[in-house]
Structure 1
Amino acid sequence: MEPAPSTTETATGRDSERPPPRPGAWAQLRPLVLRLHFYAGVLVAPFVLVAAVSGLLYVWTPQIENALYADQLRVPAAEESLPLSEQVRIAEAEVPGSRVDSVRPATTPEDSTRVLLARPDGASGPQPTVFVDPHAGEVLGVAETYGTSGAMPVRTWIDLLHRELHLGEAGRLYSELAASWLWVVALGGFALWVARARRRRARRLLVPGAGTAPGRGRTVSLHAATGVWLLLGLLMLSATGLTWSKYAGANIADLRGEMSWTTPAVATDTPSANPGVDAGLDAVLASAREAGLDGRVSVEVPGDHASPYVVTQIERSWPTRADSAAVAQDTAEVTDVVRFADHPLMAKLSRWGVDVHMGVLFGVPNQILLTAVAGGLVWVIVLGYRMWWQRGPVRAGTAGPGRPYPRGSFLALSWPLRAAVVVFLAAVGWAIPVLGASLLLFLLVDTVAGWRGRRGPRAG
């Protein structure tokens, strides 16, 4: 009779028959994140690179404008100025048959007055603008300006380059694609680097190249640690860029409307008690000033004989001045005022985020910060492509880019994680349609490539 197995042997045998424990959630997700980060970095990075370079150029357009258009924007200071209504009359005479749409009075004695004329087609976009010397009453020039910032032609050209590559509506897909993927790549890279660096000294997480020898490891460290420093800036640029986009921007606008996060506007539905009677621009501006609308303002001139004037502050530097007032056309009395201080918090955050994105909220420090972020992003992209090249085979005197990370990372997930990934990607794809469509395209291309790769060896 054989001796009975010991308790230790029995336990050891049972343990050897048990399946190994399933890795944790991050250990399962890491290969999928790594593959997605790789594909997005290789395929989307060119669009992000163009957006970064054109955005870097746009940041400094205020200084470029002041240098190129000094003769139209600045005038010799003087104590006396013509009435605003007279300045408008001079501007309308410069372009026969035109009608004033809005006026931006000179703020300082060295500023010119801008008289924006209504577009003949009534559409939105750049407007013919007459620049008038408020002291001498001379026309300084006529140019097209655009937007609340009053962008001059050179800034408008650079803005369209950044936004749509001068390709119209179809070109907007490029910038939306860049903004849609920027946050995905940034957060994915951050997660990968933190998981890798936490096993080492924390210093390596934030110091590019720390403790690494020359080669691909050093490139990875430079790429990842620089990305950590840029993370908040990249997320801000991505979020604010999406608010301007066509498809995700529409969803954001709908969300803001449903949550009452929209920017309130003054009531303009109260008609004049004396239609046809106009108190004039000077009286309207004086009433708005008394209501506290100081600094730079835009006076919107009504297109009929009953609607009120609308005066709006257009100072976007800190502290933001964006109060607005409706002023009766016949009596020049203020009928409604909306203060920026009373805007919903999300409306304020949206305003500030857009102004930071444009580099105007904090002036030159804002411009310097954006320059650092955009320049750092270009550097990270260059390092990313270098990493790809360094992964490639180097033998027999040849070199080339590395292959994508292996397939099968999604199927290796547990069923709960698979379901969570699918639900998350579906929700993000619905909210950010260009991201969802491009991800599906990546999956299709990858599937076809994988099918051809499997079929090739069998055919051979």
Structure 2
Amino acid sequence: MTISSVASAKPNTISLSLYRAVWRWHFFAGLLVIPFMLNLAITGGLYLFNDEIDNTVFAYRNVVEPNGTALAPSLLTETAKAALPGSKVLRYRAPAEPSQSVRVVVGTKAGKTYVFLNPYTGAVLGTVAEKEEFNWVVKKIHSLEYFGLPFNRIVEAVGGLALILVVTGFYLWWPRKQTGGVVSVRGTPQKRVFWRDLHAVTGAGAGALIFFLAISGLPWSGYWGDKANSVLANAGLGYPTQLWDEVPSSEVPTKDVLTNAGWTVENAPVPTSSPSNASPVGLDSIVASANAAGLTPGFEVSLPSGKTGVYTAAIFPDDIAKQRTIHYDQYSGKPLIDLKFGDYGAGAKAMEFGIGVHMGQYYGVVNQIVMLMTCLAIILTSVTAVVMWWKRRPSGRLGVPPMPTQKSVFAVLTLVILGFGVLFPLTGFAILAMLILDQLLTRIPSPLKRVFS
């Protein structure tokens, strides 16, 4: 072999090693996340249509016939309380439309319960424990919070790994003089190439949207989301912390007093009422004040907890520009803090926009359909990945893609991926754990070495 031929072969060797290194990490990431991605796609697709589900499947408790003037909120909450003797009224949600029911959240020894009432007659339309309400369950399973904090942390790691999957997947899909598998699918379902091409074409076509769903979902994650919220707030890019400078505040975060608090304000402290011998102004007065202030219909009001508690009226509608939270002194009825979307910093506005699109709220039914199609693409890429792997793997072995001949290429790519893990620590820990396991299994002789090859 001549010197020139050796020189020309080196780039090809590096290119092949890089391809194998990317493929290996794509395989590892997929191995970790596919079951969780399927859960995210299925539950996310359902939650996109939470309002539609409420108004059809559960119309018996959410939809009413408009009939005259609505009853006073105080009367409706007393009716809800009477429906569950010994309960305590925690929150009142006004109807978003004349044809919508009122929802009252009450606390019982068994936990929170939703009571749905006809606002015109006061009739109780239904009750359901919070942890049994369909959309609540779907949302909590989506984040795996339904199964406890450790599982919620897993989803956060999955979000970061999904970003790696998309980027490495694009590299593997990138055209390299092949005649198929770029925009067309070769072969038949009996052949592995069919599933490979279907996986690649679907992933490439929906990759940008899958990337968007993964990164826009991370703000809701328990660890990274809270840290991002704090960083933005401290940098003046989140909720305006200066609004709290002149009011006494509690250590209770806003998310603890509302059924669904917006991402920007969920960790903002709830202010306190000034102690007084006077009686609280009452729910009717607060609802009237919230209406007069221009809160979008459908807002929720949380009632004071204790002598220093406040009334909190808040709305986080599909139109993010109409988000608003007002905390009222329970004795004077005066607003202590009135936080509008326009008061948010640039970072918070960007986050809220991403979250709104992620949840199919911002552009109406078009937004819902696009996000649903992305969820279906995630399901298809996950299923095709499993079928493709099953057809490729050697009998009795996991079929991990071969290690690159140029080990330095794999090492450099691994450092890049671990660097990504610095931005998303829980993802970084998952990557590091997989790397350590991989090295142990490939370097230490054991029966598992053959299985994991």
**TM superposition score normalised by structure 2:** 0.79
Q: 1:55 aligned to 33, 41, 44, which one?
A: 44
Shift of 1:302: 1.8
Q: 1:276 aligned to 268, 273, 278, which one?
A: 278
The answer for the alignment partner of 1:149 in structure 2 is none
- Separation in 1 of the partners of 2:324 and 2:28? 46
- Separation in 2 of the partners of 1:223 and 1:337? 49
The answer for the alignment partner of 1:424 in structure 2 is 416
Q: 2:149 aligned to 138, 145, 169, which one?
A: 169
Q: How does 1:121-270 map to 2 (within 5 A)?
A: 127-145=112-130, 153-164=133-144, 166-194=146-174, 197=175, 199=177, 205=182, 207-209=183-185, 212=186, 215-264=191-240, 267=244, 269=248
- 1:118, 1:128 within 8 Å by CA — same for their partners in 2? yes
Shift of 1:161: 2.8
Q: Secondary structure at the match of 1:405?
A: coil
Change (3 A) 1:303 1:425: same
Q: Secondary structure at the match of 2:285?
A: helix
Change (3 A) 1:246 1:83: closer
Q: How does 1:89-100 map to 2 (within 5 A)?
A: 89-100=78-89
The answer for the alignment partner of 1:85 in structure 2 is 74
Change (3 A) 1:155 1:85: same
Deviation string, structure 1 residues 287-311 (Cα, Å, up to 9, x no partner): 2222221322112222244554222
- 2:325, 2:339 within 8 Å by CA — same for their partners in 1? yes
Q: Secondary structure at the match of 1:412?
A: helix
Change (3 A) 1:343 1:250: closer
Which letter does structure 1 place at the counterpart of 2:326? A
Q: 2:29 aligned to 40, 47, 57, which one?
A: 40
The answer for the alignment partner of 2:337 in structure 1 is 336
- 1:233, 1:373 within 8 Å by CA — same for their partners in 2? yes
Which letter does structure 1 place at the counterpart of 2:85? P
- Separation in 2 of the partners of 1:253 and 1:386? 40
Q: 2:315 aligned to 313, 316, 321, which one?
A: 313
- Separation in 2 of the partners of 1:16 and 1:240? 49
Shift of 1:376: 1.2
Deviation string, structure 1 residues 319-350 (Cα, Å, up to 9, x no partner): 54211223343443444322112211221222
Shift of 1:27: 6.1
Deviation string, structure 1 residues 345-381 (Cα, Å, up to 9, x no partner): 2212222333333333444333322221111112112
**In the alignment, structure 1 residue 433 sits paired with structure 2 residue 425:** yes
Change (3 A) 1:26 1:240: farther
Change (3 A) 1:329 1:28: same
The answer for the alignment partner of 1:411 in structure 2 is 407
Moved more, 368-377 or 132-141: 132-141
Change (3 A) 1:365 1:332: same
Shift of 1:410: 6.3
- Separation in 2 of the partners of 1:17 and 1:32? 24
Moved more, 288-297 or 329-338: 329-338
Shift of 1:36: 0.8
Change (3 A) 1:132 1:46: closer
- Separation in 1 of the partners of 2:146 and 2:274? 43
Shift of 1:276: 2.0
Change (3 A) 1:447 1:119: same
- Separation in 2 of the partners of 1:226 and 1:117? 46
Moved more, 448-457 or 185-194: 448-457
Change (3 A) 1:290 1:411: same
- 2:16, 2:404 within 8 Å by CA — same for their partners in 1? no
Shift of 1:42: 3.6
Higher normalized contact order (CA 8 Å, seq sep 6+, divided by chain length): 2
| Aligned sequence identity (%) | 26
Change (3 A) 1:271 1:166: closer
The answer for the alignment partner of 2:255 in structure 1 is none
Shift of 1:453: 6.2
- 1:58, 1:155 within 8 Å by CA — same for their partners in 2? yes
**TM superposition score normalised by structure 1:** 0.78
| Superposed CA RMSD | 3.6
Q: Secondary structure at the match of 1:23?
A: helix
- Separation in 2 of the partners of 1:19 and 1:107? 71
**In the alignment, structure 1 residue 356 sits paired with structure 2 residue 357:** yes
Change (3 A) 1:281 1:246: closer
Unaligned stretches of 5+ residues in structure 2: 249-271
